[in-house]
Amino acid sequence: MSTPSAPTSPWGRVFLVTCLTATLLIGMLSAFALPAINSKPHELPLAVSGPGAQQTEQQLERAYPGAFDITVVSDAGAARARILDRDVYGAINTSASGSPELMVASAAGPAVGALLREAATRFGNDVKVTDVRPLPADDPKGAGLSAGALPLSLGGYIGAILLLFLVQGTAQRVVGSIGFALVGGSSLTALLQYGLGAVDGNYWITAAGAALGIAASCWMILGMRTAFGNVGLALGALTLIFLGNPLSGLTSAPEMLPAGWGAFGQLLPPGATGSLLRCLAYFDGAGATKPLLVLAVWVVCGVFFFAIGTLRETRQRAAAASDAPRQPELASV
């Protein structure tokens, strides 16, 4: 008697899976490498002031075409206010006598500050540089927030997976997601602020922003998986990891990414979370409205899809239960 052979897949399926895997690898490399390779300023907001403002604007346009979105303001005080309100990344203040002054905010993005310092050298080597919002002394390069914001947003994905596969019950998953966001946001913010010294704003406000970022990612995955099954789970992972991570602009600025992609990245949870934390931790909430709205929309959409999926599952269970008593009768006929 011959031993049954193990099941095998058609060779066509093997070929398809091989091609799909190669395509995913190429897509991953492109998503992470292309934004970094093509990193350069695209309409980066910048203010200029003083009697030489118009000339400065023309010089910058000739030297860096399309790189800056320049706004002429009345004086250095107005320029400083715009930087602290997160309307611009920096400013060049000219005067009738003496060298110009470059105002930057390293906390808005160290890469942008370095770019503005390089641009200012075109006006001479004696340009005065004033950092109106420096980074904390324990993290002068801003590496802590850049590294910490991604685990905050992507951590929601991990939390959602654990809730989906280890926790049963609608109420249990809802309470678990809220608790995970609050505990995760507060603990990771404590590590960034008190352990690493990477942020120095109000702890509770920053922790609330971190919790919102985790909740947005978590509810996005919970909603899409509950409403659309494994396809929704795959789409959620694609959105968060393949698109949200490289397009977040956390290591530089959204305006440093290829035109259009930086703005798109700010509409996804990782980019919005990073921008929100930067606004809350360094600028007392200035400029936080847009990322707050983006994350709130993701939470609302996630809850909506979660409710739809849960309602459908409840109806399916009720239908199955109502049909169960009829099965023996049908079998006996």
3-class DSSP state of 68: strand
> Model confidence over 163-218: pLDDT tens digits?
999 999 999 999 999 999 999 999 999 999 999 898 988 999 999 999 999 999 99
pLDDT > 80? residue 37:
no
Residue 107 and residue 199 share a domain: no
Kindly state the tokens that stand for 100.
Answer: 């110009």
Q: Is 25 within the bounds of a domain?
A: no
Q: Is 57 within the bounds of a domain?
A: yes
CA distance readout (Å), 32 to 39, 223, 257, 313: 12, 26, 11, 37
Q: Is 165 within the bounds of a domain?
A: yes
Closest to 208 (Cα-Cα) out of 266, 280, 154, 147: 280
What does the pLDDT read at residue 333? 41
Q: Is 289 within the bounds of a domain?
A: yes
> Of 131, 162, 180, which marks where a domain is finished?
131
Do the Cβ atoms of 251 and 243 come closer than 8 Å?
no
Residue 212 and residue 126 share a domain: no
Query: What are 70's strand-pairing partners?
Result: 46
Query: What are 128's strand-pairing partners?
Result: 101
Q: Is 22 within the bounds of a domain?
A: no
DSSP conformation letters of 37-51: HT---SSEEEEEEST
How many domains does the chain fold into? 2
Residue span of the structural domain in which 79 resides? 44-131
> Model confidence over 1-11: pLDDT tens digits?
556 666 777 88
Residue 289 and residue 184 share a domain: yes
DSSP conformation letters of 126-190: T-EEEESSPPPTT-TT-HHHHHHHHHHHHHHHHHHHHHHHH--SHHHHHHHHHHHHHHHHHHHHH
What does the pLDDT read at residue 307? 95
pLDDT > 70? residue 65:
yes
Q: Is 35 within the bounds of a domain?
A: no
In the chain, the percentage of residues whose pLDDT exceeds 90 is: 42
What does the pLDDT read at residue 142? 83
What does the pLDDT read at residue 145? 82
3-class DSSP state of 70: strand
